[in-house]
Amino acid sequence: MNQKKYALELLTDAHLLACKPAPTPTDNHAKLSSTRSVPFTDVEAYRILIGRLMYLTNTRLDITFYVQQLSQFIVKPAIAHYNATIRILRYIKGASNLGLFFSSKTSTHLKAFCDSD
């Protein structure tokens, strides 16, 4: 299971296909806050971007925590939140080949459990 094509489409739509890759999905020194930042004007674009990143977390567990943190600011995003989202996209650019790999030649059985409670 690999979403490389989806990740590349996401980068293309965000006009970041030619960007410099980031070595990590986030800056460890960045502090995200809903009160201390300049508001981001294009709220709908931020929501769409976070939604697309949430879909990508199905196979990219390395960005799940960071996308979840940024999704908390979906109602009132700030420029700092948008910049952190761009940092995740730059990380994806450098690690677009990562994902879950299941060989078709083995007899591995994939089982999943979901608790709706």
pLDDT for residue 81: 92
Residues β-bridged to residue 78? 39
Report whether pLDDT(1) > 70: no
pLDDT attached to residue 100: 63
pLDDT at position 101, please? 64
For residue 50, the 8-state DSSP code is H
Instruction: Give the residue extent of every domain in the chain.
Output: 4-25+34-94
Express each pLDDT in 5-56 by its tens digit. Answer: 888 899 999 999 999 999 998 888 778 877 777 999 999 999 999 999 999 8
Contact 99, 58 (CB under 8 A): no
Owner of token pair 């709706």: 116
Whole-number pLDDT of residue 13: 92
Contact at 8 Å (CB) between 92 and 63?
yes
Q: Look at residue 15 in the predicted model and tell me its pLDDT.
A: 92
DSSP letter at 99 equals S
